[in-house]
Amino acid sequence: MNREISLLEFQHRVLEEASDPGNKLLERVKFISIVSSNLDEFFMVRVAALKQKLAAGVQSLSIDGKTVARQISSVRKAVDRLVTGIYATFQNSLVPELAENGIIIADYSALDDRERAAADLYYTDTIFPVLTPLAVDLGRPFPHISNLSLNLAIELKDTDGRTHFARVKVPEALPQLVSIPSLPVRKKAPAPPQKFVWIEQLIAANLKSLFPGLVILESYPFHITRDAEVAIKELESDDLLESVEEAVWRRRFHKPVRLQTDTSISDHILEILIENLEVGPEDVVRVPGPVDLTRVRQLASLDRHELRDEPFEPATPHDLSSQAEEDIFTAIRREDHLLHHPWHSFQPVEDLLKKAAHDPDVLAIKMTLYRVGRNSPIVQSLLEAIENGKQVAVLVELKARFDEESNIEWARALEREGVHVVYGLVGLKVHCKIALIVRREADGIRRYLHLGTGNYNSTTARLYSDFSLLTCNPDLGADATDLFNYLTGYSHKADFRQLLVAPVTMRGRLVDMIRREIAFGAKGHIIFKMNALEDRALIQLLYEASQAGVRVDLNVRGLCCLRPGIPGVSDNIKVRSVVGRILEHSRLFYFHNGGKEEIYLGSADLMPRNLDRRVEILFPVLNRSILRWLRDEVLEKYFADNVKARLGKPDGTYDFTPVTGKGAVDSQAWFIRHRARQGLIRNGQ
């Protein structure tokens, strides 16, 4: 299955959440914003990469045997179908249902006189001072249009009859849906509806204030998407941080890969945009409604709790809470702990590093940072550790796409305080999530570890499903030391005791374990949960396992290039994708192994980039009670899900027939309901 088409098929599954009447209304609006944002990123990364290959004359075929030109053609058709679905869902379903619930998105032209006066006053007081009209003529060249910005293309007529072209950028810092004040109501009267108008319509209606004395002939919104790939010549670089910083700065000037506008735009204005933005007619996407629907996320924050999912508070296992009688180091010494985020709180991970920063017996902290986010308590703990005389070494991956600038800031802040900062490895992106704490204790030096499937980011830890293992297992600790020596020094470590490390040992060990299941034949069983499955060699090996009678159950959230259920090829393979309230981000690899079951967790998907071009780790679950909990509750619930799970078909599409009423199993809702109980079972208590 072509990876780009499979990725777009995943976007259809996200769109289904916007259409699903079982979801609360504002949650459905949120999913429209998400799928629109995902499509922006698809163009910035995947379409941009295909266009680069086409321009370079790359002749290699895709995993499904397509040339680059054929892939681009297939992508365009698939995008058209997706965009049609997005706008049909928004306009035909969500907008009417929002209106029924007192949230009205109105056209400016439909406002009554009072509403129009209120909107125009807001324009005069708030919007107008921010706007900067940019004329285009011989002395003023066509302005730079920033990536993902929304703009108005305007044609004007002067007093002498000449026509001019101008551009106005819609300010991103202001609400994109402008609230129209309602009339005051008497006490006990029902609340009036909330009415909104798109900001670009309000600007377009008041363009005379920007161009006094000229006639506004026509104006249309447009939105561009630029190539966002950052090409870094690492081998030629003396300073990787400066190279990444320069590459991120250059990204804003990369070529556009998509011009989005509405269906009403005139051919004349469209020709001006195509010529000056240097895009082809095939790069134009006309939409039958508001341009850039990512902006509807504003509605998701409305104070309408009855239209949103009920919030839940993540559970903290008692022995890891601040009220526990023993400290967190004692709890980890007693037993490994596995947290299942976001149903379990991320706070114990933050508490562990906070405790380590202030514990007089802690000698050193080493960790990797990939996507940290702003105002990170993790980074604050590292800075406090330096103040308290600990040795701190941090690998900050500067090449984390779209987080480069944030990571550069953190890297500099850490360096200023004396942290040993490594910026990554030449030719490899460091994607593993690991923290190592070295502590002096009565019986010698002990190493404590956090091993995770997700990032050290407390915000996404409430939105993504991930695992966190807290352990002081000696073999894992020794492997962690070897891994950090590999990351910070010149170690050529080629083997590890327990960890599977890419690009060193992971691929080989996964192949060995799949072949071991093949040897068991019909008694073999493989269960993989991941974000993406693309690697050709491992897909072929899973086909081989199916043909040997091995039962293969795959839970793949996003792109999946494997085709299940093909007679004689993949009869014994089932693929499902769970898309719901929480973004499924954890990776889990289960091997039955003739009854001596093994489970590995980690940060790696089965993609060439993860296995060959990144530093990744998969770590084993050595505590048998945790392994049984993962098998009997976590995996069992994911594979019993018949509410949010989609079943993969041989043609790469997915069947979505959610069950309601008795017999319905929503895995994520189950984890929310049983989050406190999970903490008890996890510890074998």
| pLDDT tier, 425 (very low <50, low <70, confident <90, very high otherwise) | confident
SS (H, E, C) 596-661: CCEEEEECCCECHHHHHCEEEEEEECCCHHHHHHHHHHHHHHHHHCCCCEEEECCCCCEECCCCCC
Query: Is the separation of the CB atoms in 27 and 309 below 8 Å?
Result: yes
- What is the C-alpha separation between 299 and 297, in angstroms, rounded? 5
- What is the C-alpha separation between 115 and 119, in angstroms, rounded? 6
pTM: 0.92
H/E element, 332:
helix 328-334
**Cβ count within 10 A of residue 624:** 10
Query: Is the separation of the CB atoms in 397 and 407 below 8 Å?
Result: yes
Compute the average pLDDT of residues 32-58.
93
Q: Catalytic site residue 254?
A: no
Query: Is the separation of the CB atoms in 182 and 195 below 8 Å?
Result: yes
Joined together, the tokens standing for residue 648 give: 């993969």
Query: Is the separation of the CB atoms in 603 and 587 below 8 Å?
Result: yes
Q: Determine the 3-state secondary structure of 685 from DSSP.
A: coil
Q: What is the pLDDT of residues 150-170, one digit of tens each?
A: 999 999 999 898 999 999 999
Domains of the chain plus CATH, in order, are 1-99 (1.20.58.310), 318-488 (3.30.870.10), 500-682 (3.30.870.10)
326 contact partners, CB below 8 Å, separation of at least 6: 319, 334
Instruction: Please name which of 374, 311, 308, 316 lies closest in space to residue 340, comparing C-alpha atoms.
Output: 316
311: phi then psi, degrees, rounded to nearest 5:
-70, 155
H/E element, 439:
strand 433-441
211: phi then psi, degrees, rounded to nearest 5:
-130, 65
Which residue do the tokens 């903490």 mark?
679
Compute the average pLDDT of residues 110-117.
94
User: In Å, how far from its chain's centre is CA 256?
Assistant: 22
- What is the C-alpha separation between 162 and 155, in angstroms, rounded? 10
Give percent of the chain above pLDDT 90.
77
β-bridge pairing 420-422 and 391-396: parallel
Choose, from 223, 340, 431, 592, the residue flagged as catalytic. 431
Q: What is the pLDDT of residues 227-270, one digit of tens each?
A: 887 554 444 444 555 556 565 555 566 789 999 999 999 999 99
| pLDDT tier, 676 (very low <50, low <70, confident <90, very high otherwise) | low
